[in-house]
Amino acid sequence: MSNTRVDIPALSISRGTTRRSFLTWTAAVSAAAFTPAMLGGNAEAQSSLPAGSLAAGSVRLDNPFALGVASGDPLPDSVMLWTRLAPKPLEIGGGMPPVAIPVDWEIATDEAFGKVVNSGTAIADPAHAHSVHVDVKGLEAWRVYYYRFLAAGAESPVGRTRTSAPLGADLGSLSFVWASCQAWHDGYYNAYEDMAERENDVIFFLGDYIYESEIKDGGIRDVSALSSDVRAEPYTLDQYRLRYGLYKSEEPLQRAHASAPWIVTMDDHEVDNNWAAEISQDDDDPVEFLSRRAQAFKVWWEHTPTRVTAPTGPDMQIYRRTDYGNLVRFSVLDTRQYRSNQVHDDKDSPQDSETADPSRTITGDEQEKWILDGLDSSPTAWKVLAHQTVISDLPRVKDGKRNVSMDGWSGYEASRHRILDGAAERGAKNLVSIVGDIHRNAFSELRRDYQDASPAVGVDFAGTSIASGKDGADSDEANEGFKTSSEAFKFGNAQRGYVAVTVDKNEWTTEVRVTDKNTAPGQKLHRRATVTVPSGRPELNVQE
């Protein structure tokens, strides 16, 4: 298969490298090795290619929109539109000729496109896997729009999107959902069928959009028709593109993308399981791992309807903010790229001096300050951290010892202290954490510490997975362990599904949507529980 990738020079880096010296090192590596040409150009190249490079009117393709359409990162006057031309997404190159293709787009206030309010032409560049990112401006705030693309003689499906509301605008309510962890080999995307039937204002995806491990026989899905290229663990641009092609070929996922704007962040499996900064799961040479990270970041960008700037190396600022009037501020975090390495070999362990070490961080110093500045300046009724891993402790007692995850914030206690103490100092009310990662619903009070009498200062909602973990169970051994080991833990469920929220100034209402069976397609979801949080009181009221 093709080995398209980025190679970087052999430099040495020690495990004791400081955060400052590491950033200097990666900057030097990026400048020396990760040029736009080596990673396939940059985003601006889409609008500056010479006219002779376009195949306008000369290319005809059957179903170039096989991966659907999407929108994302809404602002009061703008939204990002996305598609990728790939009639054969499970082949290297996506079945596209190696030339740039013009893509017409339009956006309207009605689904029949009787009133088109903006239109234009973008360029699908082969250097970016023929993906298109269009920043449509001049839109009205807090309004539903419809959009579509036309390229190579074909018309795309119609997508629905919605702009956000200006900061400070009086907003009565907001309806949104969040999802995570969609391991294709573990089950079906039944949750997206359910999600697409709702008129959500926005959808959050909080990590593990793909899984990077080799796809093997014996799983839930029949993989006999997949080529060895598709099934291989990805390391290069082509390999990651094939993996996204497999996942995004799923029609339920496409329908969910077309139903509302998405705000997307990544966790670990978009690159490598439980990676931390320059350190891989298997402790690979950091230079080699940063090369792999560069490939993964670029392909994530290529397949995401995001405002995030396209990377030209192993670094990409993913954390960003979205406000919805005077109601909700969402701070979307990145807890992978800047974190200290996990301690205790990344195995569930008791907390100790290492987990409490103030020099260790899960966010990095710059992002930590950005989080606190956002809490300090937010006039919204609710302050939401949308990110990857649970802030709260989810303890289980084993052999008489209280064990918690070293990958979540429970393994980075000082980071938790600084954020929650900073929120309290700023008088931040209605602090909510929404996360994915752990393949279960686990709702807890947010506390500074969980082994003393620390009061609740917010709430922490871990939402279950779309497919990862196969069918799961209504309750399992881990869930029962949380119940007996933590008085802050208020609700748990380990089935597949997603979480839906309706929030106004007075109350936050969470609906847990799950299916009893996810290892077969076409299964229905149902409401498992409703959990409310009253404004001004960090308490979880559960109705099962």
Residue span of the structural domain in which 93 resides: 57-162
| Co-location of 70 and 178 in the same domain | no
Q: Is residue 8 part of a domain?
A: no
Predicted confidence at residue 39, as pLDDT, reads 55
| Co-location of 71 and 178 in the same domain | no
CA distance 253 to 463: 18
Q: Is residue 123 part of a domain?
A: yes
| Co-location of 343 and 444 in the same domain | yes
| Co-location of 75 and 178 in the same domain | no
The CATH number of the domain holding residue 534 is: 3.60.21.70
Predicted confidence at residue 58, as pLDDT, reads 63
How many residues in the chain?
A: 544
Predicted confidence at residue 59, as pLDDT, reads 75
Q: Are 134 and 122 in contact (CB under 8 A)?
A: yes
| Co-location of 356 and 404 in the same domain | yes
Predicted confidence at residue 453, as pLDDT, reads 85
| Co-location of 497 and 462 in the same domain | yes
Q: What is the dihedral of CA 347, 331, 145, 510, to 10 degrees?
A: 60
The total domain count for the chain is 2
Q: What is the pLDDT of residues 361-399, one digit of tens each?
A: 999 999 999 999 999 988 999 999 999 999 999 999 999
pLDDT < 50: residue spans in the chain: 1-38, 41-56
Domain boundary among 119, 134, 162: 162
| Co-location of 342 and 379 in the same domain | yes
Q: Are 137 and 145 in contact (CB under 8 A)?
A: no
CA distance 204 to 209: 11
Predicted confidence at residue 378, as pLDDT, reads 84
The CATH number of the domain holding residue 144 is: 2.60.40.380
Q: Is residue 189 part of a domain?
A: no
| DSSP structure class, residue 349 | B
| Co-location of 147 and 178 in the same domain | no
Query: pLDDT > 90: what percent of the chain?
Result: 88
Q: Is residue 228 part of a domain?
A: no
| Co-location of 440 and 465 in the same domain | yes
| Co-location of 178 and 136 in the same domain | no
Predicted confidence at residue 495, as pLDDT, reads 98
Q: Is residue 89 part of a domain?
A: yes
Q: Is residue 126 part of a domain?
A: yes
Predicted confidence at residue 60, as pLDDT, reads 83
Which neighbouring-strand residues pair with 313?
none
Q: Is residue 385 part of a domain?
A: yes
| Co-location of 486 and 508 in the same domain | yes
Return the number of other C-beta atoms located less than 10 Å from residue 90's C-beta: 18
Q: Is residue 177 part of a domain?
A: yes
| Co-location of 482 and 417 in the same domain | yes
